[in-house]
Amino acid sequence: MQRSDPARAFDAPPSEADLAEIRAEVARLHGELTRYRLVVWTGGNISGRVPGTDYFVIKPSGVSYDELGPEDMVLCDLDGQVVPGSFGSHRAASSDTAAHAYVYRHMPEVGGVVHTHSTYAVAWAARGEEIPCVLTAMADEFGGPIPVGPFAVIGDDSIGRGIVQTLRGSRSRAVLMQNHGPFTIGSSARDAVKAAVMCEDVGRTVHHAREGGELIPIPQDRIDALFDRYQNVYGQSDQQDEPR
């Protein structure tokens, strides 16, 4: 894959000792995708940025979720290149590695990226229809509708470009890539997984609500107030830096 900037050199990769925590967390979080039934077979993937470095770890491509442990996560630089000799480097990184890498290069505040094929979110994506903000739970978590991103081919940075173009400046941490499915971002891999769980939950609820009749939009000032409360007040006071 073409490097983003041939002149760019990345710092030396972190040691495996320094990677242990992020490897364990990203491997563990893959179990949350199956627990919440957001993926089937080997679909979907999670990555986590290694804090303070030019690297991230991501799921290996096509490997069963049952086999995913910390040392199976693939270490990549921000160009999406696998670091030779690192744990897991004997396998190909996820099909979406270039997309995740593009997001990390262009959104430095992002610490985790998740992709799923969760049923209701994919159904909204198949229609190219955003999920309207008609639930307080959406205002809390996404600060508005969940937007649709462009149709994009798999394997290069097209999906990443679509994610950044859609979410940069948005309060939503989820985007429905047209005809494909949800990609989510977060301050950490756990935060991005939460966005994926909540995206599917509201996608299901709004789908059934609309089947029963007309949806009632929430006024923008109420959405703003709900989002502010949830992001800054909800939960325990010692959770300040943790995702809610």
Ligand X SMILES: O=C(CO)[C@@H](O)[C@@H](O)COP(=O)(O)O
Q: Which is nearer to ligand X, 112 or 143 (CB)?
A: 112
Encode 64-115 in three state secondary structure.
CHHHCCHHHCEEEECCCCECCCCCCCCCCECCCHHHHHHHHHHCCCCCEEEE
Instruction: Name which of 44 and 144 has its Cβ closer to ligand X.
Output: 44
Q: Which is nearer to ligand X, 115 or 173 (CB)?
A: 115
**Whole-number minimum distance, CB 242 to ligand X, in Å?**
27
Looking at the Cβ atoms of 154 and 215, the one nearer to ligand X is 154
Binding site for ligand X (CB under 6 A): 42-45, 59, 61-62, 94-96, 115, 154
User: Least distance (Å) from ligand X to the CB of residue 44?
Assistant: 5
CB of 156 to ligand X, least distance (A): 11
The whole-angstrom distance between residue 137's C-alpha and the CA centroid of its chain comes to 19
For residue 44, the one-letter residue type is: G
Q: Which is nearer to ligand X, 61 or 136 (CB)?
A: 61
Let me know the angle formed at the C-alpha of 151 by 137 and 198, rounded to the nearest 5 degrees: 15
Angstrom distance (rounded) from CA 147 to CA 151: 13
Min separation Cβ 126 and ligand X, Å: 13
Q: How far is the CB of 181 from ligand X (least distance, A)?
A: 7
Task: Work out the widest C-alpha separation in the chain, in whole angstroms.
Answer: 57
Which region holds residue 114: left if phi is over 0, alpha if psi is between -120 and 50, else beta?
A: beta
